[in-house]
Amino acid sequence: MEKVEVGFLGLGIMGKAMAMNLLRHGFKVTVWNRTVSKCDELVEHGASIGESPAAVIKKCKYTIGMLSDPAAALSVVFDKNGVLEAVSSGKGYIDMSTVDADTSSNISEAITAKGGFFIEAPVSGSKKPAEDGQLIILAAGEKALYEEAIPLFDVLGKKSFFLGQVGNGAKMKLVVNMIMGSMMNAFSEGLVLADKSGLSQNTLLDVLDLGGMANPMFRMKGPAMIQSSYSPQFPLKHQQKDMRLALALGDETAVSMPVAAAANEAFKKARSMGLGDLDFSAVFETVKHLKG
Ligand SMILES: NC(=O)C1=CN([C@@H]2O[C@H](COP(=O)(O)OP(=O)(O)OC[C@H]3O[C@@H](n4cnc5c(N)ncnc54)[C@H](OP(=O)(O)O)[C@@H]3O)[C@@H](O)[C@H]2O)C=CC1
Ligand SMILES: O=CC(=O)O
């Protein structure tokens, strides 16, 4: 792909970092965000603003969406002045939000019915990987659009997978985040158990980091959790949304997931405690609370 104009809808934690990366790599980027003020920093770095999702689609051959959840992803496409109003033959829409397969399929059908091309391409990796262009991209849908989008994915990620028909990217992302949410709960319980047993939590981190369970998530989040510091990299409300959607996928496929179900309860509890906008590691507060 020559450095064509790319549209970007949704400048939250992830969208802002990803759009900034595209600008840094020489792409012309036209941005839109529901809260317009979040466009300012991108404009300072050379982006243009589109008045609406439709205006962005009209201007750009390829547009990326990075929205919070299924309701937001659908609203940006189907509402007035949305993506669908401007999609026409040859336009490509790439939804990188984490949603369920049905949401993705509905968007795909509507866009292809108007002659456009669609792929879903949710990502694994958080704020820092987004800033560093180190995301893992889980794409599915129209293969031709995937191939055309590879220069974009090369900037945004360290590896992209093409997983076949629409829905497979969404499902893979939900499986991965279901595991991540369950791991975060087990990790939180271990930190509380160590503390209540008179052990040093920092020593537990050192022990974990030397063994077969060592991983970047424990390594990065552990020290901050011990300090009760939860600056949002991946908002807890989105992790709970992913657990909910993964459990629904388990319902559809009759897969029993008692560990994930328990983890979802902890994330729901954390939301009810007002922790939804903090990092998902704040579920640790819930575990501390339950253990008295
Ligand atoms: N943060 C992370 O580590 C990761 C997140 N993800 C996924 O990426 C997506 C974005 O996450 P993140 O950037 O963290 O989330 P944020 O909450 O930071 O941003 C959400 C974005 O969605 C927009 N939005 C929400 N509701 C609507 C709506 N009804 N209409 C239009 N726009 C809307 C917000 O607009 P506004 O600014 O106006 O509120 C904002 O641009 C989510 O699906 C998340 O699960 C995937 C991998 C990692
Ligand atoms: O979806 C979140 C992530 O870290 O990946």
So what's the ipTM on this one? 0.99
- What lies within 8 Å, CB to CB, of 163 at 6+ separation is 138, 139, 140, 169, 172
Q: Which residue has the tokens 């984490």?
A: 98
Two structure tokens written together for 199: 């052990």
Phi, psi of 49 (to 5 degrees): -110, 135
| Boundaries of every domain in the chain | 5-165, 171-290
Residue 3 confidence (pLDDT) above 90 = no
Q: Which amino acid is at 153?
A: F
- Give the pLDDT confidence score for residue 89 in this predicted structure: 96
Residue 283 confidence (pLDDT) above 60 = yes
Task: Return the residue whose CA atom lies nearest to atom 14 of ligand 1.
Answer: 13
Helices (H), the chain: 13-24, 40-44, 53-59, 70-78, 83-86, 101-113, 127-132, 143-156, 168-196, 201-210, 216-226, 236-253, 258-272, 283-290
pLDDT-derived band at 289 (thresholds 50, 70, 90) equals confident
Q: How many whole angstroms from 243 Cα to the centroid of ligand 1?
A: 16
**Which of the residues 171, 173, 221, 237 is marked catalytic?**
173
pLDDT-derived band at 88 (thresholds 50, 70, 90) equals very high
Q: Are 94 and 151 in contact (CB under 8 A)?
A: no
CA distances in angstroms from 94 to 108, 145, 232, 280, listed in the order given: 10, 9, 25, 26
Residue 162 confidence (pLDDT) above 90 = yes
CATH of domain 171-290: 1.10.1040.10
To test ligand 2's pocket by mutation, which of 128, 131, 180, 237 has the most ligand atoms within 8 angstroms of CB? 180
Q: Which residue has the tokens 């369970």?
A: 213
Q: How many whole angstroms from 58 Cα to the centroid of ligand 1?
A: 23
Mean pLDDT throughout 184-195? 98
Q: How many whole angstroms from 158 Cα to the centroid of ligand 2?
A: 14
- Per-residue pLDDT of 211-220, as tens digits, reads 999 999 999 9
Virtual CA dihedral for 73, 17, 284, 238, nearest 10 degrees? 0
- Per-residue pLDDT of 8-45, as tens digits, reads 999 999 999 999 999 999 999 999 999 999 999 999 99
Kindly state the percentage of the chain with pLDDT values over 90: 97
Phi, psi of 81 (to 5 degrees): 60, 25
269 assigned to active site: no
Residue 291 confidence (pLDDT) above 70 = no
Virtual CA dihedral for 131, 136, 138, 144, nearest 10 degrees? 80
pLDDT-derived band at 179 (thresholds 50, 70, 90) equals very high
Residue 205 confidence (pLDDT) above 60 = yes
pLDDT-derived band at 143 (thresholds 50, 70, 90) equals very high
Q: Which CATH superfamily is domain 5-165 in?
A: NAD(P)-binding Rossmann-like Domain (3.40.50.720)
Residue 235, ligand 1, Cβ within 6 A: yes
